[in-house]
Structure 1
Amino acid sequence: MDGLTLSRIVAELREEVLGARVERVRLADPSTLLMKLYRPHRRPGHVWLLLSVAPRWPRVHLVEHVPEESAEPTPFLLLVRARLRGARLRAIEQVRCDRLVRFSFERRASVPVELGEDADEGETVEGSEDAVDEETILVAELFGHAANLFLLDASGRVRARLQAHGQAPGEVYTPPASEKRDPWTLDREEFRAIVSGERPLAESLKRTIEGFGSLYATEVEARWREMSPAAAPSPDLAYAAFRSVLEDLACSRHPILYSREPLERWDPARASPRDVLLSAIPLSQARGWSATRWESFSQAAEVYYDLVRRAERFQQMRAALQRHLAAQIEKRERLRRRLDEDQRALGDPELWRRWGELLLANAHMAVRTPSGFLVTDHYDPEQRVIEVPTSAATPQQAAAEYFQRYRKAKQGARVIAERQAVIERELEELRRIQERVKAADALPALEHIARDLGLAPSGERSAGKRPTPTSPKRGAARIPGVYHFRSSDGFDILVGKSAEDNERLTFRVAAPHDIWLHAADYPGSHVIIRRAKGQVVPPRTLLEAAQLAAFFSQARHSSTVVVTYTERKFVSKIPRSKPGLVRLSEFRSLTVEPKIVAERVLTEG
Structure 2
Amino acid sequence: MPLDGVTTYLLSEELNASLSGARVDKIYQPDKKSVLLLLRAFNSNSKLLLSADPDFPRAHLTEVATSNPSTPPSFCMLLRKHLGGSRISRISSPSFERIIEIEFSSVDEIKDTVSFRLIIEMMGRYSNIILLNQDRRIIDSIFHVDAQMSRVREVMPARPYDYPPSQNKINPLTALSALENHSFVFPDNTIVRPAEKAILETFTGISPFFASEICTYADIDAKKSISDLDALEHHNLCNTLASFFVQIKTRTFSPGVFFKKNEDVPYDFHALAYPKGMRSKQTDSISEAIDLLVVPGQITNDFEQKKRPLIRFAESGLAHAVRKHNVHLADLSDSEEFEKLKLFGDLLLTYQYAIPPKSSSFVCNDYSEPPISLSIDLDENLSPTDNAQRYYRKYRKAKTKYDKTVTFLKEDMLAIEYFKSLLNAATQASDLRDLVAVKQEIDWLNTKDTSETDEDPNSFHPGKSKNGKQKSRAIRSAMQAAKAKSRKKKVVESAHTASSIQSYRQFELSDGELVMCGRNNIQNDFLTFKVASKDDYWFHAKNIPGSHVILRNFGQTPSDQVFEISAAVAAYYSSANTDLSKGIVSKEIPNYKIEVDYCMVKHVKKIPGAKPGMVTYSHFNTILIQPSLPSNER
TM-score tier by shorter-chain length is 0.5 to 0.7
Q: Check whether the contact 1:179–1:208 (CA below 8 A) recurs between aligned residues.
A: no
Structure with the bigger RCO (C-alpha within 8 Å, sep 6+) is 1
Secondary structure class of the residue paired with 2:66: coil
What is the alpha-carbon distance in structure 2 between the residues aligned to residue 447 and residue 208 of structure 1? 53
Return the TM-score normalized by structure 2: 0.56
- Residue 275 of structure 2 corresponds to 284
Q: Check whether the contact 1:20–1:89 (CA below 8 A) recurs between aligned residues.
A: yes
Secondary structure class of the residue paired with 2:95: coil
Question: Does 2:375 align with 1:387?
Answer: yes
CA offsets per residue over residues 107-126 of structure 1, 9 Å max, x none? 467897xxxxxxxxxxxxxx
Q: Check whether the contact 1:322–1:437 (CA below 8 A) recurs between aligned residues.
A: yes
**Partner residue of 1:175 out of 142, 153, 163:** 163
What is the alpha-carbon distance in structure 2 between the residues aligned to residue 206 and residue 302 of structure 1? 27
Secondary structure class of the residue paired with 1:364: helix
Question: Does 2:100 align with 1:93?
Answer: no
- Distance change in 2, residues 1:443/1:83 (3 Å): same
Q: Check whether the contact 1:366–1:395 (CA below 8 A) recurs between aligned residues.
A: yes
- Distance change in 2, residues 1:160/1:243 (3 Å): farther
Q: Check whether the contact 1:58–1:144 (CA below 8 A) recurs between aligned residues.
A: yes
What is the alpha-carbon distance in structure 1 between the residues aligned to residue 386 and residue 241 of structure 2? 95
Q: Check whether the contact 1:225–1:233 (CA below 8 A) recurs between aligned residues.
A: no
Question: Does 2:365 align with 1:376?
Answer: yes
What is the alpha-carbon distance in structure 2 between the residues aligned to residue 226 and residue 320 of structure 1? 50
Question: Does 2:398 align with 1:404?
Answer: no
Q: Check whether the contact 2:255–2:270 (CA below 8 A) recurs between aligned residues.
A: no
**Gaps (5+ residues) in structure 1?**
113-131, 267-274, 457-471, 479-489, 491-596
What is the alpha-carbon distance in structure 1 between the residues aligned to residue 191 and residue 415 of structure 2? 59
Cα deviation, residue 155, structure 1: 3.5
- Residue 286 of structure 2 corresponds to 297
Cα deviation, residue 136, structure 1: 3.1
- Residue 64 of structure 2 corresponds to 65
Q: After superposing the two structures, state which structure 1 stretch, 326-335 or 396-405, moved more.
A: 326-335
What is the alpha-carbon distance in structure 2 between the residues aligned to residue 228 and residue 406 of structure 1? 87
CA offsets per residue over residues 483-539 of structure 1, 9 Å max, x none? xxxxxxx9xxxxxxxxxxxxxxxxxxxxxxxxxxxxxxxxxxxxxxxxxxxxxxxxx
Question: Does 2:114 align with 1:146?
Answer: no
- Residue 309 of structure 1 corresponds to 298
- Residue 511 of structure 2 corresponds to none
Secondary structure class of the residue paired with 1:176: coil
Q: Could you tell me which amino acid in structure 1 is paired with residue 61 of structure 2?
A: L
Q: Check whether the contact 1:359–1:375 (CA below 8 A) recurs between aligned residues.
A: no
Q: Check whether the contact 1:276–1:308 (CA below 8 A) recurs between aligned residues.
A: no
Cα deviation, residue 96, structure 1: 1.5
Q: Check whether the contact 2:9–2:92 (CA below 8 A) recurs between aligned residues.
A: no
Cα deviation, residue 94, structure 1: 0.3
What is the alpha-carbon distance in structure 2 between the residues aligned to residue 205 and residue 133 of structure 1? 44
Q: Check whether the contact 1:103–1:139 (CA below 8 A) recurs between aligned residues.
A: yes
* Matched pairs, number: 428
Secondary structure class of the residue paired with 2:189: helix
- Residue 48 of structure 1 corresponds to 47
- Distance change in 2, residues 1:191/1:329 (3 Å): farther
Q: Could you tell me which amino acid in structure 1 is paired with residue 164 of structure 2?
A: P
Q: Check whether the contact 2:359–2:378 (CA below 8 A) recurs between aligned residues.
A: no
- Distance change in 2, residues 1:216/1:329 (3 Å): farther
- Residue 429 of structure 1 corresponds to 418
**RMSD, aligned α-carbons:** 4.4
Cα deviation, residue 412, structure 1: 0.7
- Distance change in 2, residues 1:196/1:157 (3 Å): same
Question: Does 2:341 align with 1:352?
Answer: yes
Alignment map for 1:157-172 (pairs within 5 Å): 157-165=137-145, 166-172=154-160
- Distance change in 2, residues 1:46/1:327 (3 Å): closer
Q: Check whether the contact 2:349–2:385 (CA below 8 A) recurs between aligned residues.
A: yes
Q: Could you tell me which amino acid in structure 2 is paired with residue 424 of structure 1?
A: M
Q: Check whether the contact 1:22–1:38 (CA below 8 A) recurs between aligned residues.
A: yes
Q: Check whether the contact 1:94–1:101 (CA below 8 A) recurs between aligned residues.
A: yes
- Residue 253 of structure 1 corresponds to 254
- Distance change in 2, residues 1:291/1:441 (3 Å): farther
**Partner residue of 2:402 out of 413, 428, 439:** 413
Question: Does 2:189 align with 1:193?
Answer: yes
Q: Check whether the contact 2:210–2:273 (CA below 8 A) recurs between aligned residues.
A: no
Secondary structure class of the residue paired with 1:407: helix
Secondary structure class of the residue paired with 1:408: helix
Return the TM-score normalized by structure 1: 0.59
Q: Check whether the contact 2:137–2:160 (CA below 8 A) recurs between aligned residues.
A: yes
- Residue 327 of structure 2 corresponds to 338
Cα deviation, residue 600, structure 1: 5.7
Secondary structure class of the residue paired with 1:418: helix
**Gaps (5+ residues) in structure 2?**
146-153, 446-496, 504-518, 520-629
Question: Does 2:26 align with 1:24?
Answer: yes
CA offsets per residue over residues 31-51 of structure 1, 9 Å max, x none? 4333333323xxx62212222
Cα deviation, residue 294, structure 1: 2.1
Alignment map for 1:109-128 (pairs within 5 Å): none
Cα deviation, residue 315, structure 1: 4.1
Q: Check whether the contact 2:256–2:280 (CA below 8 A) recurs between aligned residues.
A: no
Secondary structure class of the residue paired with 2:370: coil
